[in-house]
Structure formats: structure tokens, C-alpha cells
Chains A and B, each alone.
Chain A
Amino acid sequence: NAGVTQTPKFQVLKTGQSMTLQCAQDMNHEYMSWYRQDPGMGLRLIHYSVGAGITDQGEVPNGYNVSRSTTEDFPLRLLSAAPSQTSVYFCASSPSAGTDTQYFGPGTRLTVL
């Protein structure tokens, strides 16, 4: 199993541009989530999904959209990038909504100029 994969690893955007961060897992996990990691802030939950077709907002959802059309994929969309969205983004998955351990992807480092 590849586990949780994220693409791209690095991305530079200009203010106002849009892009999609990809996340995929091949473990048939029901639960997937997106976090951003900023210096001195720890990890903050952006959006999460407890199964295909179901998404919900986390702690910092503004400026981000998600969808979950398949069990495997959970893309994160930035509709109009802002410098405040410069961060490292991590995707994570776990077998089900009630499972405690999450498996993390390697991260995407995003810079918005």
C-alpha cells in the first residue's frame, strides 16, 4: 500500500489564483481530513469527511472547499489564494470515524505571493 499520498509536494501561487491539493489513500479508509500547519500554531483542522459524499468544516474552513466523491480521494480546493494561506498542508485518513489513529501524508508546502 502507498498509504496516504499528496500532490504536489511544493506549489507557489499568486494572490487570487486557484488550485487543488490532491490527497489519496489506498487503505479503504472512511475518514479523511485536511490540516494546515503554521509556525507556532500547531496543526489546525480545515475540513474533514466521514465517508464518501459527506464533508464537514473544521476549525479553519474559510477560503477552502472540499468534496468526497470517492472513498479514495479527498481534494482540497483554494478558490482564490491569499498570502494568509501560505502554509504546509497535511492530509490524513483513518479506517473509520470511530478509529483513533490517523495516518498522515507527507504534506504540501504552499506559498502564496
Chain B
Amino acid sequence: SQQGEEDPQALSIQEGENATMNCSYKTSINNLQWYRQNSGRGLVHLILIRSNEREKHSGRLRVTLDTSKKSSSLLITASRAADTASYFCATKEETSGSRLTFGEGTQLTVNP
């Protein structure tokens, strides 16, 4: 079963707008990561947030983590057409060693 569930499944916005994607999970985690996947390509790691962190920034990316609600959000500010991709959250559970559990992803389309 999937640990992470992402919301929405698909998101379409205009260039320049902000995009927000959410991820919920079920068990205690060590960290949560976000990945991007362009169509037909492999995954690219974007950002990692640890369980004792609440917010993290990387360029135009902002990630929040609420361990009490078991949820995370990824905000992409000032979106560009090149941000069009699928975005996945992945959790590293406290008891899973190095294993990551992925959500089903959010398909983001940024229209020029």
C-alpha cells in the first residue's frame, strides 16, 4: 500500500502563478522528500525535509512539514513552463532503513 497520498492528482496553472501540492502519509517518518519527473524521464530529487524541521526553502521551492497532521506541502513560486512535470513525495519511515515509499504523484502543467 502507498504511504503517501498526493493532492491534487493534477494541477494546471498559468506561467507566473504559484503551484501548491500536498502530500499526506500514515506512519512516523524520518524525513520526507520531493522528486520531479519529466515525461518519459527518471526522477530528480528536489528537496528533503527532516521530521524535526517545519519549513525549508530551495530557490523557488518551499516545503512545509506538519508531523502532527502527517502532511507536507510543496510550493513552487513564480512557475515556469519548464516546471511542467509530475511531482512525487517520498517518505523515509523511522523503521524502514533506507527504503523510500512514494506517493502517486501530482501532474503539474504550467501553461505559457
Asked if residues A42 and B105 are in contact (CB atoms below 8 Å), the reply is yes
- In the complex, what residues of A have CB within 8 A of residue B98's CB? 31, 33, 48, 50, 94, 96-99
Asked if residues A42 and B2 are in contact (CB atoms below 8 Å), the reply is yes
Count of B residues near A, CB < 8 Å? 25
Number of A-B contacts (CB under 8 A): 60
- In the complex, what residues of A have CB within 8 A of residue B40's CB? 107
Q: Is B41 part of the binding interface, using a Cβ–Cβ cutoff of 8 Å? A: yes
Which residues of chain A from 33 to 82 have any CB-CB distance to chain B below 8 Å in the complex? 33, 35, 40-45, 48, 50, 58-59
> B4 touches which one: A42, A98, A101, A105 (CB < 8 A)?
A42
Q: How large is the interface on A (under 10, 10 to 19, 20 to 34, 35 or more residues)?
A: 20 to 34
Asked if residues A103 and B97 are in contact (CB atoms below 8 Å), the reply is no
What 9 pairs across the A-B complex have the smallest Cβ distances?
Answer: A43-B102, A42-B104, A104-B42, A104-B43, A97-B98, A42-B102, A106-B42, A101-B45, A31-B98
A contact residues vs B (CB 8 Å cutoff)? 4, 31, 33, 35, 40-45, 48, 50, 58-59, 90, 92, 94, 96-107
B contact residues vs A (CB 8 Å cutoff)? 2, 4, 30-31, 33, 35, 40-45, 48, 88, 90, 92, 97-105
24 A–B contact pairs at CB < 8 A? A31-B98, A33-B98, A35-B102, A41-B2, A42-B2, A42-B4, A42-B104, A43-B90, A48-B99, A50-B98, A90-B43, A97-B97, A97-B98, A99-B98, A100-B30, A100-B31, A101-B33, A101-B48, A102-B45, A104-B35, A104-B43, A106-B41, A107-B40, A107-B41
